[in-house]
A and B are shown apart, each in its own frame.
Chain A
Amino acid sequence: MQRIKQTAIRIYGWLELRLQLEAPVKDAALHSVPRNTASWWYVFGSAAFTLLFLQIFTGILLALVYVPAAGEAWNSLNILNHQIPLGWFLRAMHGWGSNFMVAIVLIHMAQVFLFGAYKFPRELTWIAGVFLLLMTLGMAFTGQVLRFDQDAYWGLGIGASILSRVPFIGGGLVHLLLGGPIIAGATLSRFFALHVFVIPGTMLLFVFLHVWMVLKLGINEWPMPGRLVRRTTYIEEYHRQAHEDGIPFVPGAFWKDLTFSGAVLAAVAVCAFVFGPFGPGGQPDPAIIQTVPKPDFFFLWIYTILSYLPPSMETPFILIAPLLGIAFLLALPFWAAEGEKSWHRRPVALLAVSTIAVCWGVLTHLGTTTPWSPHMSAWSSDPIPPHYLQIATPLVRQGAVVFQAKQCRNCHSIGGAGGERGPALDEVATRMTIDQMRFKVVTGGGNMPAYGKNLSPAEVEVLVSFLETLHPANEPPAYDASRRTIETSQADDGATTRTNRNATP
């Protein structure tokens, strides 16, 4: 045992004489950081760093099996899922790792922004971070393309059509992105190279720079209201704080980083185990039209925005908004390099982050439910809840058949199933009279197309007869008051006529 220990020390000494890493590593590990930064709020950067290496590790293992060829990619993913022991788990770790990484990077960015860490002298650290965010999103998108299924195919189509709208050079950009005029084998090779070599390589370089600057400039101190950043005095004040009220990074703050990173890895593993890998969905064949492609969750907000934007706003928004957003993030540390760091005195910053988070959440939720999109198979696959037809007459039943066969269900849900493009019709009879429904069906209005030319008079009649039954048991259908008056007066007229007739000799 003693001998092994001595040999190890000798080897270490041999290596250290040549590499001389001990001093810089010790410096990095033991450098003093302000005591108040040993906080659970400061763990997201290191977690993102850990996840990057998880992605590299699992990515290398996936690359051993994955075939980046248009005809083979989908099959090789299914081989991973179904034939290689725990291949599905590996794919799930990589997929969930990517989701967690996007989420942690965004949280890290929000935290750094709210803590004012982008201010002097850490402007370049922030800028490197902005590029790292863009590269993380680039990895997410290219990764989605490598999962070569219908979502990937159509996602790529949308990416290409966004690029094609760039004035003058749009066509050339699409050609560059796809490796030709169409999505084909060259496209996949290109995205494989981007996902496996180009972006990760650049990312590692930026991560090195980012971490280097964090070590050299010191971790951002806990912001205190009223303690303003001034270029002339900040560095001196920071060093005084780090030394007078500081602790060595290891183990003082490091154990929290380590614990959180471990917890994140465990969370990735649990998600991978329980929820499994992402796809692959259907085969990436444009001839298959029974598909509802959707981007992965981090791009759902763009999907929602593009769905809701009026067509005239699409091109300006697609081309200008991202550039403005990136320009704002890059300019931020120069525009506000000095001043207040604490979020207690930066209400605009706090409001901006909250607004973006709420908007992002709402847009993502809408992206998952896609209320703007008809459910194209609802007419043939969503049954009418049986209790809606329990006491229905043959006429009403036939109305339900027309409701399904004419695909009303694709836009109007009943019993929680069906499209959400138009209003749910479970209680439509309480808000519209039968005449109003007839008029609406025939002439349309608002977003509703006119069906007068596509439905026969009988179809309209049976359809509204069915719709008239859609009301709660304890609430009668809407009734036109003037009808009642007319019916009463007609009944009176009839009685008068009869009386007169009887009176006539």
Chain B
Amino acid sequence: MRILVPALLALSAPFLGGCGHAPGDPPNPILRPSTVTDFTALYSQNCAACHGANGQNGPAIDLANPEYQALVDDATLRKWISGGMPGTEMPAFCQSHGGMLTDAQVNALIAGMRKEWLKANAFGAAAPPYAQAQAGDANRGAQSYRARCAGCHEPTRQQVTSADYLSLVADQTLRSIIIAGRPDIGQPDWRHDGPVGNATTALSTQEVDDIVTYLGSLRNVASGQAASSAQGGR
């Protein structure tokens, strides 16, 4: 009896002590998928597979890069998320384009990314604009590429000049990576593009335009089209 009473009390302690914190107390009701606006839930369900958990270390561009966040505006982000990015694997996510997300959810994703990953004064200096404003020169681009990029991106090592690779990435993707870099995998930004990421001068807007134009000229467009779409099928 002397042991029984304390033992019973000990066993019943979890029941007596604060039922609001019971492990079995269920979490909030499950929402309709279209009403979920929590950024973490939306990002992990829709974006994490390609852009990486927490926006980095994924195969596609690292959204957690503050420089990328500073480079791209809301309208552009909304355009890519809603309707997909032509010429790339980025699919359309908005219901109006055949996806599963509502406009409010796309907005919640953008607002969440800004809140989590945008940092004030991320560039520190004026960067080339997000979109290419003028035509580049492929020949000049080839020279710039050899001077500033080839040190790392030789064909056998980083294969960035592969026609197959280039046929699956848009000019805009190349441009964004050249300007904002990919800090998660060690790709420097436009200020440091150069041999072993240690350039003495930043790339000019003209150089960025030219390099993108040069890489675009290596693209084999036919290779990027699926057999059925080439026949007008898909």
A residues near B, CB below 8 A? 78, 81-82, 85-86, 88-89, 92, 269, 272-277, 280-283, 285, 288, 290, 377-384, 386, 389, 392-395, 397-402, 404-406, 409, 452-459, 461-462
Report if B26 contacts A (CB, 8 A): yes
Sample of 26 A–B contacts (CB below 8 Å) = A85-B19, A89-B19, A89-B24, A273-B14, A273-B22, A274-B22, A274-B24, A275-B23, A276-B22, A276-B24, A281-B30, A288-B33, A290-B100, A380-B50, A381-B46, A383-B48, A383-B58, A386-B52, A393-B159, A394-B159, A397-B60, A401-B89, A404-B49, A453-B226, A458-B168, A458-B220
- Separation in Å of the A170 CB from the closest CB of chain B? 33
CB-CB nearest in chain B for A417: B49
Q: Which of B14, B24, B28, B157 contacts A393 (CB 8 A)?
A: B157
Tell me whether B159 and A92 are in contact (CB under 8 A).
Answer: no
CB-CB nearest in chain A for B51: A383
Most chain B CB within 10 A, of A82, A281, A283, A383, is at A383
CB-CB nearest in chain A for B30: A282
Could you say which residues of chain A place their CB within 8 Å of the CB of B185?
A: 389
Q: Once bound together, how far apart are the Cα atoms of A456 and B223, in whole Å?
A: 6
- Separation in Å of the B199 CB from the closest CB of chain A? 20
Could you say which residues of chain A place their CB within 8 Å of the CB of B158?
A: 393-394
Q: Which of A273, A277, A454 contacts B26 (CB 8 A)?
A: A277
- Separation in Å of the A58 CB from the closest CB of chain B? 15
Tell me whether A456 and B49 are in contact (CB under 8 A).
Answer: no
Q: Once bound together, how far apart are the Cα atoms of A152 and B32, in whole Å?
A: 16
Q: Once bound together, how far apart are the Cα atoms of A458 and B47, in whole Å?
A: 23
The 3 closest A-B pairs by CB, nearest first: A276-B24, A400-B59, A405-B89
| B1-44, CB < 8 A from A | 14-15, 19, 22-26, 28-30, 32-33, 44
Tell me whether A397 and B49 are in contact (CB under 8 A).
Answer: no
Q: Which of B47, B59, B223 contacts A389 (CB 8 A)?
A: B59
Tell me whether A401 and B59 are in contact (CB under 8 A).
Answer: yes
Tell me whether B24 and A402 are in contact (CB under 8 A).
Answer: no
Could you say which residues of chain B place their CB within 8 Å of the CB of A88?
A: 24-26
Report if B227 contacts A (CB, 8 A): yes
Report if A383-B49 is in contact (Cβ < 8 Å); known contacts: A273-B22, A456-B224: yes
Q: Once bound together, how far apart are the Cα atoms of A212 and B91, in whole Å?
A: 68
- Separation in Å of the B46 CB from the closest CB of chain A? 5
Q: Once bound together, how far apart are the Cα atoms of A477 and B157, in whole Å?
A: 18
Q: Once bound together, how far apart are the Cα atoms of A82 and B223, in whole Å?
A: 56
CB-CB nearest in chain A for B158: A393
Could you say which residues of chain B place their CB within 8 Å of the CB of A386?
A: 52, 57
Report if B164 contacts A (CB, 8 A): yes
Report if B169 contacts A (CB, 8 A): yes
- Separation in Å of the A210 CB from the closest CB of chain B? 33
Report if A452-B23 is in contact (Cβ < 8 Å); known contacts: A380-B49, A393-B158: no
Report if B121 contacts A (CB, 8 A): no
Tell me whether B22 and A290 are in contact (CB under 8 A).
Answer: no
Could you say which residues of chain A place their CB within 8 Å of the CB of B50?
A: 380, 401, 404-405
Tell me whether B168 and A457 are in contact (CB under 8 A).
Answer: no
Q: Once bound together, how far apart are the Cα atoms of A241 and B219, in whole Å?
A: 94
Report if B163 contacts A (CB, 8 A): yes
CB-CB nearest in chain B for A271: B24
Q: Which of A81, A273, A285, A380 contacts B32 (CB 8 A)?
A: A285
Could you say which residues of chain A place their CB within 8 Å of the CB of B164?
A: 395, 457-458, 461-462
Could you say which residues of chain B place their CB within 8 Å of the CB of A290?
A: 33, 100
- Separation in Å of the A287 CB from the closest CB of chain B? 9
Report if A381-B45 is in contact (Cβ < 8 Å); known contacts: A273-B14, A275-B24, A395-B164: yes
Report if B233 contacts A (CB, 8 A): yes
Q: Which of B23, B167, B233 contacts A453 (CB 8 A)?
A: B233
CB-CB nearest in chain B for A384: B59
Q: Which of A283, A399, A458 contacts B223 (CB 8 A)?
A: A458
Could you say which residues of chain A place their CB within 8 Å of the CB of B162?
A: 394-395
Q: Once bound together, how far apart are the Cα atoms of A49 and B37, in whole Å?
A: 47
Tell me whether A453 and B228 are in contact (CB under 8 A).
Answer: yes
Q: Once bound together, how far apart are the Cα atoms of A86 and B100, in whole Å?
A: 37
Report if B198 contacts A (CB, 8 A): no
Report if B96 contacts A (CB, 8 A): no
Could you say which residues of chain A place their CB within 8 Å of the CB of B25?
A: 88, 276
Most chain A CB within 10 A, of B24, B53, B90, B233, is at B24
Tell me whether B30 and A405 are in contact (CB under 8 A).
Answer: no
Tell me whether B49 and A378 are in contact (CB under 8 A).
Answer: yes
CB-CB nearest in chain B for A282: B30
Q: Mark B203-234, 1 if CB is under 8 A from A, else 0.
A: 00000000000000000100111111100011
Beyond the given A81-B26, A88-B26, A400-B59, could you list 10 further A-B residue pairs with CB under 8 A, ordered by the A residue number?
A: A85-B19, A274-B22, A274-B23, A275-B23, A282-B30, A395-B159, A401-B50, A401-B59, A452-B227, A456-B224
Report if B71 contacts A (CB, 8 A): no
Q: Once bound together, how far apart are the Cα atoms of A288 and B100, in whole Å?
A: 10
Q: Once bound together, how far apart are the Cα atoms of A274 and B226, in whole Å?
A: 52
Could you say which residues of chain A place their CB within 8 Å of the CB of B44?
A: 381
Could you say which residues of chain B place their CB within 8 Å of the CB of A402?
A: 89, 168
Tell me whether A78 and B33 are in contact (CB under 8 A).
Answer: no
Q: Once bound together, how far apart are the Cα atoms of A285 and B33, in whole Å?
A: 11
Q: Once bound together, how far apart are the Cα atoms of A276 and B24, in whole Å?
A: 4
Report if A457-B223 is in contact (Cβ < 8 Å); known contacts: A86-B19, A384-B59, A393-B159: yes
- Separation in Å of the B227 CB from the closest CB of chain A? 5
Report if B127 contacts A (CB, 8 A): no
- Separation in Å of the B62 CB from the closest CB of chain A? 11
Could you say which residues of chain A place their CB within 8 Å of the CB of B19?
A: 85-86, 89
Q: Once bound together, how far apart are the Cα atoms of A276 and B223, in whole Å?
A: 55
Could you say which residues of chain A place their CB within 8 Å of the CB of B220?
A: 458
Could you say which residues of chain A place their CB within 8 Å of the CB of B228?
A: 453-454
- Separation in Å of the A294 CB from the closest CB of chain B? 14
Tell me whether B45 and A398 are in contact (CB under 8 A).
Answer: no
Q: Which of B22, B47, B60, B167 contacts A401 (CB 8 A)?
A: B60
Q: Which of B33, B46, B53 contacts A380 (CB 8 A)?
A: B46
Could you say which residues of chain A place their CB within 8 Å of the CB of B108?
A: none
Q: Once bound together, how far apart are the Cα atoms of A394 and B163, in whole Å?
A: 12
- Separation in Å of the B177 CB from the closest CB of chain A? 9
Q: Once bound together, how far apart are the Cα atoms of A281 and B29, in whole Å?
A: 8
Q: Once bound together, how far apart are the Cα atoms of A277 and B23, in whole Å?
A: 11
Tell me whether A462 and B59 are in contact (CB under 8 A).
Answer: no
Could you say which residues of chain A place their CB within 8 Å of the CB of B100?
A: 290
Q: Once bound together, how far apart are the Cα atoms of A276 and B44, in whole Å?
A: 26
Most chain A CB within 10 A, of B25, B46, B57, B59, is at B59
Q: Which of B53, B90, B223, B233 contacts A383 (CB 8 A)?
A: B53
